[in-house]
Amino acid sequence: MEHTWDLSFLYSSFEDEAFLTDVKKWPEMIAEQKALLAADIDDQTKLEQLFELDEAMSALVDRLYGYVSLTLAADAHNAAAAQYEDKLALISNDSRLVGSAITRYVGSLSNLEEILAASAKLQPIAFALREMAESARHTIPAEIEPWILQMSLSGGSAFSQLRDKLDSTHTVEYRGESLPLPAVRGMAYDGDSSVRKDAYEAEIASYKKIELPMSYCLNSIKMEARTLAKAKGFDSVLDMTLDSNRMDRETLDAMITAIREYLPHFRRYLRAKGKYLGHTDGLPFYDLFAPVGKASKAYTIEEAREVLLREMGKFTPEMAQFIDNAFEQRWIDVYPREGKSGGAFCASAHAYDRSIVLTNFQGSFSDISTLAHELGHAWHNRCLAGLPFAMINTPMPLAETASIFNETMLSHQVLKSASEEEQFTLLEASLMESTQTCVDILSRYLFETEVIDTRADHAMTVDELKDAMLRAQEATYGDGLSKDVRHPYMWACKSHYYSSGFNFYNFPYAFGELFGKGVFAQYLKEGDAFVPKYCQLLRSCGSGTIAEVAASVGIDVRSADFWRASLEVVKSEIDRFCDLCEKQ
Ligand SMILES: [Zn+2]
């Protein structure tokens, strides 16, 4: 069977008449939007027509971007795709400005509720319209918006680009060889402890070369974030971020409170892993990702498919059928190859009720888990099928619900029949992940908060940044990590701090992991009766605030108890891991 994906349902090629027509049609549709906005017609008709047009345009853009970006992801050398990517980016700028104008228009309608009540066409997207009216209060005044967008090109965006440049051209002197940073960071997973240690030391030493420009990038991007938050009428950068995530402070606080309470357990896991690896005083940073246990079994893609069908089918037979169909209909590009992008993702082709999955399968159990994760996203997309585009926009913290649910389900099933040796390896891999998404994420949140707050007064020096990072690690990892072997430069290697216009790119990860686990805990409690509720939850992810969506299945995300229940799942894994550690 074929193991590359099939995109022919979108277009047959870049010369396809349908593709060329769509490229021409997009700017025409933007012009139509502008004309409609200016038209002298009653507001209800105008809104109805604007959103009809918006639906058609979303489908078209989805198709175009899908084809171009997926082609590039599978083949970075495709020149036609690269050319069209640039072309689409230019049109998209225009589209964004019209989008802001529509938002302002919706915000200006004092009778929006009456219009909604009178219009059967607008009822299904009422939430999106109300949200738009609300966010109109936080748009930059029309007269200065183009200037601010322009300034960002030489401000935040420029520093973001500089950061990427510094990162991608950075080399590390490792054992007499000059290697790219990702290659050396990847050695943290090596089975040989001397490789891990040498790689870590080489990595830390290498940052001297880029620490100064990196610090300027970070300070400038966070300064711009402060300015933008102010210009948009938010009290803080965090408030601006929470707003764009449809999340409230109470929810964030409840989650962080619970994570803090469970830090001692994570430290217990880290110390146990350290002891297993022969360290007496916590885990040195370079062994955080050290593999433990015997090398595990290797799987072919056919075996992986069987495991997924068997184990995920225990949730509902429909899920097994769905996964089987994804393989059969060539939704998945399976193997790594030159020119194909690394990692894994799932893209949605909403208008076709179809998903497209990229993985770099090499046969480990973690690769099967990755497939389960991405197919969870695909299942989520299936649950959203048929909804208007305006209502499928899932905020980042909720976007990982189905993927984490699937991962948790798979590991839960597999652990049941695993030998103690296999359990040891599987549990450790799972805890390594959870430690990143809870403990490390909390350290990043604390660090970023400090940088943004301090920026009100001054730009932090390299030494101040290093010191802040070490304090954030002390407050979270604590004695789980060796006192002297930590990572003062985590701010120089994580791209997440440098996205202009997107801040606190950290807590949504913790939310996603713990929410997915919490939903799974609910499933264990309620059994099969929970299946339809679960699908309804996924279907509603773009139709309300996070608290509303969660409340629809009886989950109160503002209560620390919900988060404690998720963390209890992790704690039981830690308990079991520590037991097994003693036996090893
Ligand atoms: Zn994901």
pLDDT in tens, 460-514: 999 999 999 999 999 999 999 999 999 999 999 998 899 888 899 999 999 999 9
Sheet of strand 354-358: strand arrangement: 332-333, 354-358, 345-349
Whole-number pLDDT of residue 485: 96
Residue 294 has pLDDT above 80, yes or no: no
- Tell how far the Cα of 247 is from the centroid of ligand 1, in angstroms: 19
- Tell how far the Cα of 377 is from the centroid of ligand 1, in angstroms: 7
Whole-number pLDDT of residue 36: 97
> Could you give phi then psi for residue 505, rounded to 5 degrees?
-75, 55
- Tell how far the Cα of 562 is from the centroid of ligand 1, in angstroms: 22
Residue 288 has pLDDT above 90, yes or no: yes
Residue 118 has pLDDT above 70, yes or no: yes
Task: Please state, for a pLDDT cut of 70, what percent of the chain lies above it.
Answer: 100
Residue 186 has pLDDT above 90, yes or no: no
Residue 342 has pLDDT above 90, yes or no: no
pLDDT in tens, 418-466: 988 889 999 999 999 999 999 999 999 999 999 999 999 999 999 999 9
pLDDT band at 295 (very low <50, low <70, confident <90, very high): low
Whole-number pLDDT of residue 501: 81
Q: What is the mean pLDDT of residues 4-14?
A: 97
- Tell how far the Cα of 24 is from the centroid of ligand 1, in angstroms: 33
Degrees to nearest 5, angle at CA 216 with 211 and 218: 90
CA distance 536 to 203: 46
> What one-character DSSP code corresponds to residue 259?
H
Q: Could you give all domains of the chain from N- to C-terminal order, each with its CATH number?
A: 17-139 (1.20.140.70)
Neighbours of 404 (CB within 10 A): 23
For 223-250, give one letter per residue: b (16+ CB within 10 A) or e.
Answer: bbbbbbbeebebeebbbbbbbbbbbbee
- Tell how far the Cα of 406 is from the centroid of ligand 1, in angstroms: 11
Pick from 277, 365, 296, 280: nearest CA to 581: 277
- Tell how far the Cα of 107 is from the centroid of ligand 1, in angstroms: 33
Residue 296 has pLDDT above 80, yes or no: no
pTM of the predicted structure, to 2 decimals: 0.91
Q: Which residues contact 579 (CB under 8 A, 6 or more apart)?
A: none
- Tell how far the Cα of 345 is from the centroid of ligand 1, in angstroms: 7
**CA-atom Rg of the chain in angstroms:** 25
Whole-number pLDDT of residue 31: 98
- Tell how far the Cα of 99 is from the centroid of ligand 1, in angstroms: 28
Residue 337 has pLDDT above 90, yes or no: no
- Tell how far the Cα of 373 is from the centroid of ligand 1, in angstroms: 6
Q: What is the mean pLDDT of residues 240-251?
A: 96
- Tell how far the Cα of 489 is from the centroid of ligand 1, in angstroms: 26
Distance of CA 226 to the CA centre of its chain: 23
